[in-house]
Amino acid sequence: MDKAEKTALVLAVGFLGFFASLLVYAAKVLNIDVPTCITDVKPFTEGKVIQHAPNRYEIHYLAKMWYFEPADVEIPAGSVVDIYLTSGDVIHGFQIDGTNVNLMAIPGTVAYARYKFDKPGVYHIVCHEYCGIGHQDMATKIVVK
């Protein structure tokens, strides 16, 4: 190994180490984390919105070929929402545009994410995993007032 090679290697590993420490910091300190394995909520067969307090919601999303249940949801700005997601048939995707909520709906499992909707507006949700012939029409929204 010559000097230039060593420099290149140190630079490459240094950059990657820097990136890795930032993402670990974001995950462990800022709590910006990916979905994990949850076992306290069992897969459900109907979607619903549960209001626990004025600004505290729980939404159970059921993804089916080719719609989401519940359909459009309305909540006040500043609400903290616990989102649970499962599928009633095949694998579906679930992304709330403009947020970091990006989940997969896999039958037999429940995905979970929490999000605080500060800004009023329309939050579009699309199914972004291929789920058959009607996939391109599978969308819903959350309206934040």
Considering beta carbons, is residue 36 or 53 the nearer one to another protein? 36
Considering beta carbons, is residue 46 or 54 the nearer one to another protein? 46
Q: How far is CA 103 from CA 1, 37, 38, 74, 114, in A?
A: 45, 12, 13, 20, 11
Q: Under DSSP, is residue 67 helix (H, G, I), strand (E, B) or coil?
A: strand
Minimum gap (Å) between residue 105 Cβ and another protein = 8
Number of neighbouring beta carbons within 10 Å of residue 108: 7
Binding-site member from 3, 4, 40, 53 for another protein (CB under 8 A): 4
- Please compute, for residue 105, the number of CA atoms within 13 A of its CA located in the half-sphere on the CB side: 33
Return phi, psi of residue 8, to 5°.
Answer: -60, -45
CA distance 145 to 2: 63
Tell me if 16 contacts another protein by CB under 8 A.
yes
Interactions with another protein, residue window 33-92 (CB under 8 A): 33-39, 42-43, 64-66, 85, 89-91
Give the interface with another protein as residue ranges (CB under 8 A). 1-2, 4-5, 8-9, 12-13, 16, 19-20, 23-24, 26-27, 32-39, 42-43, 64-66, 85, 89-91, 93, 95, 97-98, 100-104, 106-112, 124, 126-133, 135-137, 139
